[in-house]
């Protein structure tokens, strides 16, 4: 019997976003991206290859997935089997740890944990760089969740060169990310569909590539200098420029809802009133607010009044992949 291995990976929020693939099979992105791994939201995944199984069996939060719903997971298992020279099917059991059904449980932590658990369960001992490449094959943003702190996903040009590189694993900087849960439901347009539509139909896509190159070049020294204002200004503008690719696609679409706009306006008001903070958004209506530890009480109080206190979740920089004792 092969061992059951459990890995834990945390989700990450991109400060300079990934929004578009150059290769949809290998998940090679159009641009590099840079994120912050968070401590509060994570996935634990256990994998065991078992000769008694006649098919892969995938359970997420105690629910068995249909073959269709488990397609991406089985794709990663196939890659692991190929590398390890195995033909055995696997039992995969995954638990998302998010304070509530928040719509924040991202594929980033899920596929990073899967890569970590499946590879070791198959007897492979991959470097973290190679784990990031494996996680990438499940979901692009998972590439970055192998490492903690600030992480760059270097776009590269092929399977070997498209990988995560830690930019600052130990974050000795009192910053926080406040996640506002504005709509816990599943997004209607997946990031996979949305970004592909932006690449193929937005006339602004070429400009986006230039935006990302500039933002990466400026955000890195700003992070190193702990220049909160500059990092905040870059991440906020970058997020809005990503969302401009959704509005400019054909057909146009948007991830904003009314509350997203209200929350963004509140961030601007807080800023004018002296509590420095900046917003970012991904492929859904939830808004994430980048702020400094000292301003957390004022900021969380304001949003708790505006929405509900159970909709305001505070996260800090988090660690890279870990393996747990079974």
**Contacts to ligand DP6 by CB under 6 A:** 14, 17-18, 27, 33, 107, 139-141, 191-192, 282-283
Write b or e for each residue in 134-157: b if 16 or more Cβ atoms lie within 10 A of its Cβ, otherwise e. Answer: bbbbbbbbbbbbbbbbbbbbbbbe
In the complex, least distance from residue 147 CB atom to ligand DP6, rounded to whole angstroms:
14
In the complex, least distance from residue 36 CB atom to ligand DP6, rounded to whole angstroms:
11
In the complex, least distance from residue 123 CB atom to ligand DP6, rounded to whole angstroms:
27
In the complex, least distance from residue 179 CB atom to ligand DP6, rounded to whole angstroms:
13
91: which DSSP letter?
E
The nearer residue to ligand DP6, 232 or 275, going by C-beta atoms, is 232
* C-beta nearest to ligand DP6: residue: 140
Tokens of 234: 């870059």
The nearer residue to ligand DP6, 18 or 49, going by C-beta atoms, is 18
In the complex, least distance from residue 14 CB atom to ligand DP6, rounded to whole angstroms:
3
In the complex, least distance from residue 190 CB atom to ligand DP6, rounded to whole angstroms:
7
The nearer residue to ligand DP6, 18 or 307, going by C-beta atoms, is 18
The closest of 214, 143, 178, 187 to 289, measured between CA atoms, is: 178
CA 205 to chain CA mean position, Å: 21
The nearer residue to ligand DP6, 194 or 232, going by C-beta atoms, is 194
The nearer residue to ligand DP6, 6 or 145, going by C-beta atoms, is 145
In the complex, least distance from residue 191 CB atom to ligand DP6, rounded to whole angstroms:
4
In the complex, least distance from residue 59 CB atom to ligand DP6, rounded to whole angstroms:
20
What does residue 273 show for φ and ψ, rounded to 5 degrees?
A: -85, 5
Question: How far does the chain reach from its first CA to its final CA, in angstroms?
Answer: 15
227: which DSSP letter?
-
| Cα distance between residue 62 and residue 95, in whole Å | 8
The nearer residue to ligand DP6, 13 or 270, going by C-beta atoms, is 13
Are the C-beta atoms of 149 and 173 separated by less than 8 Å? no
What does residue 26 show for φ and ψ, rounded to 5 degrees?
A: -85, -5
Are the C-beta atoms of 75 and 150 separated by less than 8 Å? no
What does residue 228 show for φ and ψ, rounded to 5 degrees?
A: -55, -45
In the complex, least distance from residue 275 CB atom to ligand DP6, rounded to whole angstroms:
26
The nearer residue to ligand DP6, 44 or 282, going by C-beta atoms, is 282
Are the C-beta atoms of 148 and 320 separated by less than 8 Å? yes
The nearer residue to ligand DP6, 49 or 150, going by C-beta atoms, is 150
Helix intervals (H) in the chain: 71-84, 107-121, 128-136, 191-201, 205-224, 228-247, 258-272, 296-306
The nearer residue to ligand DP6, 37 or 141, going by C-beta atoms, is 141
Length of the chain: 326
165's enclosing H/E stretch is: strand 163-168
């Amino acid at each position: 019997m092969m061992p059951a291995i459990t890995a834990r990976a945390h989700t990450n929020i991109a400060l300079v976003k990934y929004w578009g693939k150059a290769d949809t099979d290998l998940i090679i992105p159009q641009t590099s991206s840079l994120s912050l791994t968070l401590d509060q939201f994570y996935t634990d995944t256990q994998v065991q290859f078992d000769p008694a199984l006649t098919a892969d069996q995938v359970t997420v939060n105690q629910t068995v997935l249909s073959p269709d719903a488990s397609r991406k997971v089985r794709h990663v298992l196939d890659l692991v089997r190929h590398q390890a020279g195995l033909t055995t099917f696997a039992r995969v059991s995954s638990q998302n740890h998010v304070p509530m059904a928040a719509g924040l449980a991202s594929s980033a932590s899920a596929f990073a944990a899967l890569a970590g658990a499946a590879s070791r369960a198959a007897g492979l001992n991959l470097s973290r760089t190679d784990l990031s490449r494996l996680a990438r094959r499940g979901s692009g943003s998972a590439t970055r969740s192998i490492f903690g702190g600030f992480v760059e996903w270097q776009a590269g040009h092929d399977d070997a060169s498209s990988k995560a590189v830690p930019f600052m694993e130990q974050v000795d900087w009192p910053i926080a990310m406040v996640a506002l849960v504005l709509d816990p439901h599943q997004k209607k347009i997946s990031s996979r569909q949305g970004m592909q539509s932006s690449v193929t139909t937005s006339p602004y896509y070429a400009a986006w590539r230039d935006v990302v190159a500039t933002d990466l070049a400026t955000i890195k020294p700003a992070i190193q200098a702990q220049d909160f204002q500059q990092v905040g200004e870059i991440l906020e503008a970058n997020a809005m420029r990503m969302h401009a690719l959704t509005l400019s696609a054909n057909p146009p679409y948007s991830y904003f809802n009314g509350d997203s706009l209200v929350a963004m306006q509140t961030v601007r008001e807080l800023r004018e009133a002296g509590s420095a903070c900046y917003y970012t958004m991904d492929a859904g209506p939830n808004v994430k607010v980048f702020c400094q530890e000292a301003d957390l009480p004022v900021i969380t109080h304001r949003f708790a009044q505006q929405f509900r206190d159970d909709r305001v979740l505070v996260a800090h920089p988090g660690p890279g992949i870990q393996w747990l004792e079974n």
